[in-house]
A and B are shown apart, each in its own frame.
Chain A
Amino acid sequence: MLSLTWLDELCAFLSPEQMEVNESPHPLGNSGAVTVYPQTEEEIAAVLRYADRQGKKVVVMGRGTKRGFGGQREQADILLSLENYAGIVEHAAADMMVTVKAGTVFGDLQRELAPYRQKVALDPFWPDEATVGGVIAANDSGPKRLGYGAARDSVIGLRIVYPNGTVIRSGGKVVKNVAGYDMNKLFIGAMGTLGVLSEVTLKLRPLAKYESVVLLSFPSGDVQSIHSFAVSFLDTMMEPICFELLTPTLAERLTGRPVYTLVIGFEDVEKAVHYQEQWVERLCPKAASMAVLAGEEAEAFWRTFYTIAPNGRLTTSGGGVEAAVKIGVVNLDVLSVLRESELIADRCHVQIEAHGGLGHGLCQAYVRGSEEGVIAAVEELRQMAVRLGGYAVVRHLPFFLRQRIDVWGGKPAYFFLLEGIKRKIDPNKTVNDQRFIGGI
């Protein structure tokens, strides 16, 4: 269908089986006229160097779980897939450090580390499909962010292929490092707009000896009693790994009970976990009911949990559209966000399932419904977040709707600095053009 006159030029550094001409753009956008599958860093660099010199636009992708996250281009010239650029480069178990190629599937990495009783302390969505590079580029994290921290707390080094093909290293292989600017931070959550992550070095944490999940359901729906419990529990010396509140809609899907439910996770030696469960029991209001999941039950709970977010690799079933919104507020305001999201769902005639961490302030809302309903709900969620001094970013939305709504929600006052950074590193706007905030 397409006659790509320049396809031959790619053959100078890629073999024909590493290229695939695409028939039509993807409904989530961020497609390419041709998809390329580099297998080495040199090939990544060659593709970028070529594109940068020839004025071609490149979209970068791991396995596509976040394809619906940002992007004002339906189709670039080249879709650079890192799917075939995967594997562990170095695992220094004694140093609790691992270096992986960016296309490595997150769950595969965790499985490789498990026999050493080690893990990457991060809990992204869709771990069995998302790649390490994608998780880092999109700064993904789940409820365990409270105990684990974010990608920025785990990444200690990166190799980045700059848009002109130069390979730049940031950070290193040691857990503590202040030599020069902390350049790692620039690329984490940059949505691939500053270059292609090639290798990621992560610090590791020991696997917990024991884990449990306490589910605390509040049938009365009385947000005030949840607030009181949260404040008193968070003021204790207990060390929950997550303290996540689920809306009744989401709780129904995950636990079968349509009531506000707190998910309190513990990871420690067994004695310390049970001790903390007892603390929850002691502080738990009478009207609430408590269930404890341990071992395989806890694992199964989390496995399901990490698949509740929309996944760009799956086609939406049935009618209507699906959106995911990340909302950041100050910790305890999560309660207001969740409560308000229920009202917004009613007003906009959509379904909203939401959860948020009362110890870290991040919420995720999954909105399903008609096009107009979803757009209206996203706008209302954003207004509410801004009212609370926070923000709302749309993490997943079909391409045609991304043209109607600014998924990033406006520019900060210091936007000129963000723009300046982009211009220094990618003056020709070669990589992931218009994928990020303010169209950078």
Chain B
Amino acid sequence: MRKRPIATNDPHIRALARIVGEEAILYRKEDLIAYDCDGFTVHRHLPKAVVFPNSTEEVAAVVKYCHEHELPFLARGAGTGLSGGAIPLNGEVIISLTRMKRLLHVDLENRRAVVEPGFVNLKLTNSVAHRGYYYAPDPSSQYCCTIGGNVAENAGGAHCLKYGVTTNHILGLEIVLPDGEVIEIGGNGVPDPPGYDLLGLLTGSEGTLGIVTKITVRLLKNPEAKQTVLAYFDEVEDASQTVSDIISAGIVPAALEMMDQTAIEAVEAAAFPVGHPKDIAALLLIEVDGISAGIGEQIDDILTICRRHHVREVKVAESEEERARWWANRKTGFGAMGAISPDYLVQDGVIPRSRLPEVLREIANISRKYGLRIANIFHAGDGNLHPLVLFDASQPGETERALAAGSECLKACAAVGGSITGEHGVGLEKKEEMRFIFSDEEILAQTAIRDVFNPKNLLNAGKLFPTPGRCVETKQVSSTVK
């Protein structure tokens, strides 16, 4: 970072610069623009400043300063969040944790590692891969997203069907509370620390209860064997039924992903095409892992189930290289939408698996109703849908229509007993949709917990919970949409 003398009279900026150093603060408008949104780009707002602390002590000092001077603030990792959790709605001081990116400790005998919040997800796996270990949660953005951000959002990924999401892999946290006090929970990775499960509560609290400055995670040993199956279907219904039957056959795949025709069109037009036929209705990407002696039996069962449901073509990856290509094609699926649409909005509803066919039909209806294409790329095995609403923000009114269509997709998920978000978080984007699944009393029960940690509500205010007293709020689309 370049060092430039502080050229402002704003006493807060000067004070924050004294804490983190003049080279570790941004406050000029042109420097702040990059921080006006995260991976959710339809709302934007400039922060007051961005600070880059380098230690827990610096984070605590910044927080203490903000708390004393009643400055709103929030934490930010790599900014890959998809629900707007790091958007400085209230002109926050952004505490960027990207300089705190050290791998502090690895203890393979006890299968744990300690990282700072800015440590990139995939780097952890890469650091222990030579010994045959890995860190399980694998969001599609894992090559750049940070583990601190993963904790805030309780991030998932394709392989959480078998191995669980972030919360299942967090053993300890060091947290700076909104008044600057530092606490440590389950510090060295001892399970079940006595008391209410604050680790569980903090994970997925979207940066509204505290700022994580150190994380102890569980590492897993690589499975002995892995096999990946790709199956093409002419009917979405058949693909959905295959998903249900695989699960009810007692198979727990490591991953069970689905893409529909629109999604396939996009991934084939983008950077990692694998030659999927363009005229199929849906494909399934199925991975099983475990003890090699048991894998063959599971693959045979999966192939039988696919054939029972009229699969057009089904193949097992013949090499690690082929498997990697299939996964690159899937994991870059969201970005691939750029190849067929100027803009897209991704939703994140969850449904009971057995309701897949009817909800996909409903999403198709929503697509027709709003006159917008909707692609589906999703974690079928755990019912976590990702409808991608394609739109063109330069067309007047289309952004609003896309948002409305996305919201209606979530309503369809809620209507079958599902949830409005499986792994992306509520953030700014879905806070009003919280009412689809929670009563006012239930939302109050949650904000009561927030008040225990964050009584002044200076930390990441205006996220996660609907605006009180308004049952329906029309989404205000920011005028800064490009």
Contact = CB atoms under 8 A, between A and B. Distances in A.
Interface of A: 92-97, 117, 139, 149-150, 152-153, 162, 166, 168-170, 172-186, 188-190, 194, 205-207, 209, 231, 234-239, 268-269, 271-272, 274-276, 326, 328-332, 359-362, 389-391, 393, 408-409, 412-415, 417-418, 420-421, 424-425, 436-437
Contacts of B352: 92, 95, 97, 173-174
Given A205-B252, A237-B221, A178 B154 contact: yes
A150 B188 contact: no
Interface stretch (B6-14, B41-49, B68-76, B108-116): B108-116
Nearest to B225: A237
Contact of B383 (A174, A332, A420): A174
A267 B193 CA distance: 28
Given A179-B434, A330-B189, 19 more contacts: A94-B247, A153-B168, A172-B419, A181-B450, A182-B204, A182-B205, A183-B446, A183-B449, A234-B111, A239-B223, A239-B291, A330-B107, A330-B190, A331-B111, A361-B189, A414-B183, A414-B185, A417-B453, A421-B196
B452 A186 contact: no
A389 B197 contact: no
Interface of B: 107-112, 132, 153-154, 156, 160, 164-165, 167-168, 183-185, 187-201, 203-205, 221-224, 244, 247-248, 250-252, 290-294, 297-298, 350-354, 379, 382-384, 417-426, 430, 434, 437-439, 441-443, 445-446, 448-453, 464-465
Given A172-B418, A239-B291, A391 B354 contact: no
A94 B353 contact: yes
B35 to A, nearest CB: 24
A182 B354 contact: no
Nearest to A389: B188
A391 B448 CA distance: 30
Contact of A172 (B184, B417, B439, B452): B417
A183 B442 CA distance: 10
Contacts of B189: 330, 361
Nearest first, the 10 A-B pairs at minimum CB distance are: A185-B200, A272-B294, A206-B250, A237-B224, A420-B452, A275-B293, A272-B291, A176-B422, A94-B354, A95-B352
A166 B448 CA distance: 14
B387 to A, nearest CB: 16
Nearest to A203: B382
A266 to B, nearest CB: 9
Nearest to A392: B194
Contacts of A418: 195-196, 198
A174 B419 contact: yes
Contact of B449 (A332, A413, A424, A436): A424
A238 B223 CA distance: 8
Contacts of A417: 183, 198, 452-453
A185 B453 CA distance: 16
A68 B351 CA distance: 41
Given A95-B352, A179-B419, A412 B294 contact: no
B452 A189 contact: no
A330 B188 contact: yes
B422 A188 contact: no
Contacts of A173: 352, 417-418
A150 B191 contact: yes
Contacts of A272: 290-294
A424 B291 CA distance: 48
Nearest to B291: A272
Contacts of A205: 252
B449 A412 contact: no
Contacts of B192: 139, 150, 189, 326, 328, 362
Of A166, A186, A361, A417, the most chain B CB neighbours within 10 A belong to A417
A181 B446 contact: yes
A330 B172 CA distance: 12
12 contacts: A149-B164, A169-B442, A174-B350, A179-B434, A182-B200, A183-B201, A186-B201, A237-B132, A239-B291, A417-B198, A424-B452, A437-B194
Contacts of B464: 180-181
A182 B154 contact: yes
Given A178-B154, A178-B421, A179-B421, A276 B291 contact: yes
B194 A412 contact: yes
B408 to A, nearest CB: 17
A202 to B, nearest CB: 14
B222 A237 contact: yes
Nearest to B355: A95
Contacts of B297: 269, 271
Given A268-B290, A268-B291, A390 B250 contact: no
Contacts of B110: 330-332, 361
Of B108, B196, B465, the most chain A CB neighbours within 10 A belong to B196
Given A94-B244, A173-B417, A331-B110, A185 B201 contact: yes
Nearest to A183: B446
Contacts of A236: 221
Given A173-B417, A330-B110, A412 B350 contact: no
A417 B107 CA distance: 30
A3 B199 CA distance: 46
B476 to A, nearest CB: 22
A117 B107 CA distance: 37
Of A180, A206, A268, A272, the most chain B CB neighbours within 10 A belong to A180
Contacts of A96: 247-248, 353
Contacts of A328: 190-193
B439 to A, nearest CB: 8
A182 B450 CA distance: 12
A181 B354 contact: no
Contacts of B201: 181-183, 185-186
Nearest to A279: B291
A98 to B, nearest CB: 12
A430 to B, nearest CB: 16
Of B192, B421, B449, the most chain A CB neighbours within 10 A belong to B192
A181 B449 contact: yes
Contacts of A235: 108-109, 132, 221
A177 B421 contact: yes
Contact of A176 (B112, B222, B247, B423): B423
Given A150-B191, A269-B298, A330-B110, A178 B423 contact: yes
A421 B447 CA distance: 11
A139 B197 CA distance: 10
Contact of A190 (B190, B196, B221, B420): B196
A271 B291 CA distance: 9
Contacts of A153: 164, 168
Given A180-B434, A235-B108, A421-B196, A329 B419 contact: no
Contact of B193 (A97, A186, A194, A391): A391
B248 A93 contact: yes
B168 A437 contact: no
A68 to B, nearest CB: 17
Contacts of A330: 107, 110, 112, 188-190
A414 B195 CA distance: 10
Contacts of B222: 237
Nearest to A172: B419
A424 B451 contact: yes
A393 B194 contact: yes
B190 A178 contact: no
A331 B219 CA distance: 13
B443 A180 contact: yes
A21 to B, nearest CB: 34
Given A183-B449, A421-B452, A437-B195, A152 B250 contact: no
Nearest to B464: A180
Of A276, A331, A393, the most chain B CB neighbours within 10 A belong to A331
Contacts of B423: 176, 178
A338 to B, nearest CB: 16
A238 B420 CA distance: 37
Nearest to A171: B419
Contacts of A190: 196-197
